[in-house]
Amino acid sequence: MSGFLSRVVSGIGTLAARTTGLAALGVVGYDAHVNGKLRAETYSQGRAADRLSGAIYNNSMMDRPSAVMNRVKDKIFKFYLDHNIVKPFDAAAGYFRGAAASWMTSIVPAVMGLGALLAPGKIIPRISAIGLIVYGGLRVFTEGFGIGRFNRLNRPYKE
């Protein structure tokens, strides 16, 4: 009976470690998705502003005066104002930049989560899960409560 009980307890520990790894990857993935959505919007708006400023400059300058070319430039400028052809592509590029940046800043919990979830055996998943719990606790204390974090607002101005 004691052999069966030790296998059950050992299985529960490994299951808890793998669940911890899955939860960590879920949190990191969710943060990456949210940051990707935010970056997609700002990146596409910035690119649209750059294109529009280029169109304004192009519309206001002419090498030689021409009434026909002036009308053509006005039509092209109005096209730049009204079209949304490239916005989805800019948004996709911004999303992937934001998501990749978020994954890179969260590389420690992502690697420990992968270790807890996919590592063979019992030792490595448990060590990774313990590391995740310690890392998460430290993040809650430093980011959530501000414990151990230098307060830059109360710092006197020095040159």
CA dist 121 and 139 (Å) reads 28
Give 10-residue mean pLDDT values along the chain (159 residues): 61 88 95 95 90 82 84 84 84 95 94 92 91 93 81 66
For 128-141, letters b (16+ CB in 10 Å) and e give bbebbeeebeeeee
What is the pLDDT at residue 79? 81
CA dist 131 and 135 (Å) reads 6
**Residue 26 within any structural domain of the chain:** yes
How many other C-beta atoms lie within 10 A of the C-beta of residue 24? 28
3-class SS at 17?
A: helix
**Residue 101 within any structural domain of the chain:** yes
**Residue 127 within any structural domain of the chain:** yes
What is the pLDDT at residue 4? 59
**Residue 138 within any structural domain of the chain:** yes
Per the structure, the complete domain to which residue 41 belongs is given by 11-145
Structure tokens that stand for 21 in this block: 């790894």
What is the pLDDT at residue 158? 61
